[in-house]
A = this chain, B = another copy of it.
Amino acid sequence: MSTSKPFHHGDLRKELVSVAREVIETDGIDALSLRGVARQAGVSTAAPYRHFDSKEKLLAEVARQGFEDLHDALDRGGQSPDPFQSLLDQSMAYLGFAMANPRLYRLMFASHIDKTKHPDLMEAGERTFAVLQARFDPATDPHAAARAIGCWGLVHGLASLAIDNQLDAHVQTDGGPHMRAILEPLVRALMAH
């Protein structure tokens, strides 16, 4: 009675998300099956359905948490008093997060998940973008919106390419300084009025 597992898990929902995230980051999304997650969590095949309507819902929750973590990383990144330096740091923080959690980052923008079906996820994504958006003030800059999108596109693109190992070996391995050199002139252009 003592060593045998209790019927109820305790907090299966949280455990499922945690296991899923781990599997994704370890073996990739294609290697993730709901049954496998259940197995690793020590519950039966159908148990996850008490907490998530579908596999997609579970993935959406993992992605949502990813956006929250990215959001935090951005907040921590943009604290320099110099606006240019701050935006550059923030951009580097964005890339740092993506390269530290490549498969999670990919999931956050993956086609598996139709964001319109997962309002939580969509909102988390928008809130994250808002951090970048806040660096451009529409009151003083008529092109604030365009610049913000350009900035997001730039970091998202570089992150995606880096994750896919599509970049030169130099940039890939020693991401930091090289990436900074790539970003600098573009971020400067974004801050110019």
Contacts and interface: CB of A to CB of B under 8 A. Distances in A.
Work out how many copies of this chain go into the complex.
Answer: 2
A188 interface: yes
Interface residues of A, number: 45
Contacts of A103: 111
A189 B182 contact: no
Contacts of A189: 185-186, 188-189
A161 B153 contact: yes
Contacts of A178: 146
Interface string A86-105: 00000000000000000100
A186 B111 contact: no
Given A178-B146, A181-B146, A185-B189, A111 B29 contact: yes
Contact of A160 (B146, B157, B168, B185): B157
B186 A30 contact: no
Interface of A: 28-30, 103, 106, 109-112, 115-116, 125, 129, 143, 145-147, 149-150, 152-161, 164-168, 171, 178, 181-183, 185-186, 188-190, 192
